[in-house]
Structure 1
Amino acid sequence: MKPKVLAIIPARGGSKSVPRKNIKELAGKPLIAWTIEEANKSKYIDRVIVSSEDKEILQIAQKFGPYVPFVRPANLAEDNTAGIEPVLHALEHFADYDYVVVLQPTSPLRLVEDIDGCIEYFLQEKAKFCVSVCEVEQSPYWMYTLDNCAKMQPLLKQQSLITRRQDLPKVYTLNGAIYLANINLLKQTRNFITDETIAYVMPIERSFDIDTEEDFKICEYLYTETLM
């Protein structure tokens, strides 16, 4: 039988870096709309929901088609609330799903091909957890810490310094775009990052995570460039 997949888009109202970030306009529509529209295109996702404590966010989100089953409790939308808590709260309302995919609205350049590609890879590998990553542009092999006298110490210990970029080992970072898990196991671990988590590699150009006003400008520029 085809497994049932629930997509959760968490979008709290508070944001210190950019006020009302999740509904701030990006290239003509609210930031959250970019994620909702791509999730709605998925051939694997059975239901898309938005979780928020903010009624304005929920009202705007509903215009783009997701299911809004509840208003998230305010205590699950505080600055110090762990990101997994709203996910586990949402899962309490949906008992008949096999897998959950969490799509943060701060990744507006993520496409449905990334979402479905991740789900396909997850199912193909019979994985328990999967997260999206991208290759880092600045290698940690060329990074240093400084002591009190400003003397440099390599962040990563090496027998000899790698001097050519093409010789650097490939290194990846979480890009925040896609988190996927077996629901029963996620309830046990309360974390997407485990010893059994596999990585789905996304292109750097679709891995932008919005956190500042400058990020909005960069993403708007990148979106405009793709249309030209």
Structure 2
Amino acid sequence: MSLLCVIPARGGSKRIPRKNIREFGGKPMIAWSIEAANASECFDHIIVSTDDIEIADVARQWAAEVPFMRPAELADDFASTNQVVAHCVQWYQDRGHELTAVCCLYATAPFVEPADIKQGLVLLDQAPIDRFVFTATDYPSPIQRALRLDLDSGMAHMWHPEQFSKRSQDLEDAYHDSGQFYWGRPQAWLQSENLFEGSKPLLLPRWRVHDIDTADDWKHAELMRQALAQEAR
């Protein structure tokens, strides 16, 4: 029985071109995830699912496996994480591998901690067999007071105006996916479409959560990496 780590890393990133292997903190972005996976000592196989030869070469240089190239139909803008991981699970099962659990670890998660990956596996044993463990953090402001802008007038409107007069401390905390990793059983990956409903979150501090999709996101993450490097000296 094996524990598998799948790192999805397609080559067609548009908002930040080549972001999966762009240099971040002195190494390719994907290297941070590969190193964390190795340091966790959880996995029998750490694989990168990619459609891109250059990404595959970089992944191998940093001690990940690339046992196949991702099919083109799973490498466009519409392929979901579930579909990509399910493909990997099916590929291994078709070759006689018995998988105990599978962790999807994002390639752009440079603040992921090996200890969190380990803890996620511990929590998976407490979760229903058909559900997942994922990393999450809290919103910095009450979502009950979220605003929307009218595109025609430019005026602001509350999504829930009835919450205006309530004190912040009386509003319920809300959480969101931190976009680092997801643990699940093989059959859950093959059969489930919703990673979150009924699943168990591993809560992370807000400062360690960085969704890197835009140039501003990248700059923010770089500044945090620099600050952490200075603190470690």
Global fold match (TM > 0.5): yes
2:56 counterpart residue number:
58
1:157–1:200 CA distance, 2 compared to 1 (3 A): farther
| 1:33 alignment partner, one of 17, 26, 31 | 31
Structure 2, unpaired ranges of 5+ = none
| 2:183 alignment partner, one of 180, 191, 195 | 180
Structure 1, unpaired ranges of 5+ = none
User: Partners in 2 of 1:77 and 1:32 — Cα distance?
Assistant: 17
User: Partners in 2 of 1:101 and 1:161 — Cα distance?
Assistant: 43
Q: Pairwise mapping of residues 1-228 of structure 1 onto structure 2 (< 5 A)?
A: 4-95=2-93, 96-125=98-127, 128-146=131-149, 153-156=157-160, 158=162, 161-163=165-167, 165-194=168-197, 196-228=198-230
| Other structure's SS at 1:21 match | coil
CA deviation map 1:34-59 (0-9, x unaligned)? 00000111132222110000000000
How many residue pairs match? The answer is 224
TM-score (norm 1): 0.89
Q: Provide the identity percentage.
A: 33
- Is the contact between residue 144 and residue 163 of structure 2 (CA under 8 Å) also seen in structure 1? no
1:159–1:214 CA distance, 2 compared to 1 (3 A): closer
TM-score (norm 2): 0.87
| Other structure's SS at 1:200 match | strand
How far residue 150 of structure 1 moved from its aligned partner, in angstroms, is 5.9
1:50–1:168 CA distance, 2 compared to 1 (3 A): same
Query: Residue type of the partner of 1:100?
Result: V
CA deviation map 1:81-131 (0-9, x unaligned)? 222221111112222112111011122111112211222122244553122
CA-based RMSD of the aligned residues comes to 2.0
Query: Residue type of the partner of 1:145?
Result: R
